[in-house]
């Protein structure tokens, strides 16, 4: 289906792949922020996941081990953030920014020897006859397993936050950590667990960039994806189902600008490249204006340090 020189079916299929890194990172950050912690180090965790996953995948020849290593690298950086902010009570905003700068610098150092190297291919799942269904087969049944895992994680996150006792405790800690502590909940432990989960998902998103989306290692290859993930959490009003919409909106715009370049539209390439980020900012501004007088959607204790008084 060609519309204005753009293959609509290919565009829809591509947006699912393009959205996966930010969808993973935004889902993880959503859980962290629901616990009351503002982690601005998502970009740093993603880039560490990208280089860690790439290094292990190329060394072992296994993309699965690469993704596992990416998750561990992201979680390790998140636990460093947890140590500084939850134990030593450092400022969350400043620590998150430092984490991003550290991740970008350290990944550039580690990844120097991997430039120009090709990682092992991540195979696509075989759905048999489903893959041959016109239109629907190409859109939904010709992706690698990480695409489907990202969707499953969104559903699982929604279910846990809304339907389980663990999700209720997490939300209680994020809304009022003093009240949660008074009820006997271990606020710091809950927040550390949420941060580890968020870091692991950010690392997975980074590994997906270097192993599938590009696939290669390039210094600074996240190119602001971590900041987009943070913006998507705000866009989603801290709701898991809306994170999926926000990530797919960003992925769709990213895929569209690539299609426009391939179709040789007379639009400067720099304008096309910046379009996903500009449109994300515009959507956030409009959303903020619409909800200016509405109920605060963010967790009430977001960004506030917790110190047990007893």
Where does the pLDDT of residue 52 fall: very low under 50, low under 70, confident under 90, or very high at 90 and above?
Answer: very high
Q: What pLDDT does 290 receive?
A: 63
Q: What pLDDT does 287 receive?
A: 66
Q: What pLDDT does 36 receive?
A: 95
Instruction: Encode pLDDT of 21-31 as tens digits.
Output: 999 999 999 99
Where does the pLDDT of residue 310 fall: very low under 50, low under 70, confident under 90, or very high at 90 and above?
Answer: very low
Q: What pLDDT does 285 receive?
A: 73
Q: What is the 3 state secondary structure string of the chain?
A: CEECCEEHHHHHHHHHHHHHHHHHHHHHHHHHHHCCCCCCCHHHHHHHHHHHHHHHHHHHCCHHHHHHHHHHHHHHHHHHHHHHHHHCCCCHHHHHHHHHHHHHHHHHHHHHHHCCCCCCCCCECCCHHHHHCCCHHHHHCCCEHHHHHHHHHHHHHHHHHHHCHHHHHHHHHHHCHHHHHHCCCCHHHHHHHHHHHHHHHHHHHHHHHHHHHCCCCCCCCCCCHHHHHHHHHHHCCCCHHHHHHHHHHHHHHHHHHHHHHHCCCCCCHHHHHHHHHHHHHHHHHHHHHHCCCCCCCCCCCCCCCCCCCC
Instruction: Identify the structural domains of the chain with CATH numbers, from first to last.
Output: 2-290 (1.10.3470.10)
Averaged confidence pLDDT in the chain: 89
Instruction: Encode pLDDT of 154-208 as tens digits.
Output: 999 999 999 999 999 999 999 999 999 999 999 999 999 999 999 999 999 999 9
- Looking at per-residue pLDDT, the higher value among 70 and 7 belongs to 70
Of 35-39, 73-77, 106-110, 273-277, the one with minimum mean pLDDT is 273-277
Q: What is the mean pLDDT of residues 106-118?
A: 93
Q: What pLDDT does 263 receive?
A: 65
Q: What is the mean pLDDT of residues 34-51?
A: 96
Q: What pLDDT does 258 receive?
A: 72
Q: What pLDDT does 130 receive?
A: 86
Q: What pLDDT does 1 receive?
A: 58
Where does the pLDDT of residue 3 fall: very low under 50, low under 70, confident under 90, or very high at 90 and above?
Answer: low
pTM of the prediction? 0.92
């Amino acid at each position: 289906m060609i519309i204005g020189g753009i293959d609509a079916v290919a565009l829809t299929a591509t947006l699912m792949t393009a959205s996966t890194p930010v969808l993973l990172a935004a889902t993880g950050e959503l859980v962290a922020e629901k616990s009351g912690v503002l982690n601005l180090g998502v970009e740093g965790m993603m880039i560490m996941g990208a280089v860690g996953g790439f290094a292990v995948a190329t060394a072992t020849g296994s993309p699965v081990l690469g993704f596992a290593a990416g998750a561990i690298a992201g979680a390790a950086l998140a636990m460093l953030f947890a140590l500084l902010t939850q134990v030593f009570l450092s400022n969350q905003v400043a620590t998150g920014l430092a984490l991003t700068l550290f991740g970008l610098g350290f990944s550039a150092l580690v990844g120097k020897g991997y430039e120009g190297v090709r990682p092992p291919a991540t195979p696509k799942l075989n759905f048999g006859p489903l893959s041959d269904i016109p239109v629907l087969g190409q859109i939904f049944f010709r992706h690698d397993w990480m695409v489907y895992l990202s969707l499953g994680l969104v559903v699982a996150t929604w279910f846990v936050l809304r339907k389980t006792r663990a999700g209720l405790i997490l939300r209680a800690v994020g809304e009022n950590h003093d009240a949660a502590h008074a009820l006997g909940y271990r606020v710091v432990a809950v927040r550390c667990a949420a941060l580890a989960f968020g870091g692991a998902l950010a690392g997975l998103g980074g590994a997906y960039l270097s192993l599938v989306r590009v696939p290669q290692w390039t210094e600074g290859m996240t190119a602001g994806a971590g900041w987009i993930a943070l913006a998507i959490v705000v866009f989603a009003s801290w709701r898991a189902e809306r994170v999926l919409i926000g990530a797919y909106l960003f992925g769709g715009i990213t895929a569209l600008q690539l299609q426009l370049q391939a179709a040789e539209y007379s639009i400067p390439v720099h304008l096309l490249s910046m379009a996903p980020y500009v449109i994300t900012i515009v959507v956030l501004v409009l959303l903020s204006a619409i909800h200016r007088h509405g109920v605060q959607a963010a967790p009430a204790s977001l960004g506030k340090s917790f110190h047990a008084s007893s």
